[in-house]
């Protein structure tokens, strides 16, 4: 009977889907549990690469700066219009990093979170680059604004990891229509298809 009442209430338009009207605590707890369990189950078998790999971290810095700070902030960036306006609100990743669970972070970045502002980046980024961002997130809570800027600068900006022009050549992962996509010379950080990062001079 309870479910009929819930359906009836929903059908009558009683539920406010406005993003500026927070859920009741019980609803919030239920959605958070459903979200966390869904991710835990799906992230179970993901193998985590070496997150201390410096080339991997470097590729993540530029991509994080280009694609994530509008919602998830950065050292020295306290808030943005997006970070304040979204509900559920994007967690401040300069504080939580990978949340202690890199496999779950990888899954979330790749697939996004339904009915929230969190996009599915796997549609435009291959796994190597997503791992680069995860490796960078692992460092992020330890960085001050200056260290953050230094790492972003060393990463040569938003390139999906530095090997982008070559990626375009043989991967066909995404076209040249990426928003905020700049053509830049390939940097020293280069990721191979096997997911391992290597450094070499151009
Ligand atoms: C348009 C805003 C937006 C952008 C851009 C965005 N996210 Fe998110 N992200 C969100 C929101 C909102 C959530 C929370 C969703 C929820 O809890 O239901 C989230 C959740 C996450 C989480 C889970 C954190 C946790 O503790 O639950 C991770 C990790 C994450 N995002 C990483 C990223 C990365 C990496 C990028 C850039 C490649 C990115 N996001 C870009 C809005 C965004």
Mean pLDDT, the chain cut into blocks of 10 residues (202 residues total) = 79 86 89 94 94 95 96 95 93 96 96 94 94 97 97 80 40 42 43 46 42
**125 and 160 in contact (C-beta within 8 Å)?**
yes
Task: Calculate how far, in angstroms, residue 97's C-alpha sits from the geometric centre of ligand 1.
Answer: 11
Q: 140-169 in b/e burial notation, b at 16+ Cβ within 10 A?
A: beebeeeebbebbeebbbbbbbbbbeebee
Residue 87 alpha carbon, nearest atom of ligand 1:
12
Best mutation site among 19, 71, 104 for ligand 1 pocket (most ligand atoms within 8 Å of CB): 71
Residue 89 alpha carbon, nearest atom of ligand 1:
12
Characterise 99 by phi-psi region: left (phi > 0), alpha (psi -120 to 50), beta (else).
left
Characterise 160 by phi-psi region: left (phi > 0), alpha (psi -120 to 50), beta (else).
left
pLDDT at site 194: 46
Residue 125 alpha carbon, nearest atom of ligand 1:
38
């Amino acid at each position: 009977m309870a479910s009929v009442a819930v359906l009836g209430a929903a059908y009558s338009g009683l539920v406010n889907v406005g993003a500026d009207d927070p859920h009741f605590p019980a609803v919030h707890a239920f959605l958070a549990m459903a979200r966390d369990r869904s991710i835990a189950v799906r992230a179970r078998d993901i193998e985590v690469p070496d997150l201390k790999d410096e080339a991997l971290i470097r590729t993540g810095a530029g991509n994080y700066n280009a694609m994530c700070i509008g919602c998830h902030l950065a050292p020295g960036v306290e808030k943005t219009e997006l970070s304040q306006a979204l509900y559920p609100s994007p967690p401040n990743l300069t504080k939580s990093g990978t949340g202690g669970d890199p496999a779950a972070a990888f899954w979330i970045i790749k697939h996004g979170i339904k009915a929230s502002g969190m996009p599915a980046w796997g549609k435009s980024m291959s796994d190597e680059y997503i791992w680069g961002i995860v490796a960078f997130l692992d460092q992020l809570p330890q960085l001050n604004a200056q260290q953050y800027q230094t790492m972003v600068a060393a990463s040569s900006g938003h390139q999906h990891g530095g090997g982008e022009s070559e990626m375009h050549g043989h991967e066909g992962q995404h076209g040249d229509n990426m928003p905020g996509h700049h053509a830049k010379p390939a940097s020293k950080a280069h990721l191979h298809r096997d997911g391992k990062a290597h450094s070499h001079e151009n």
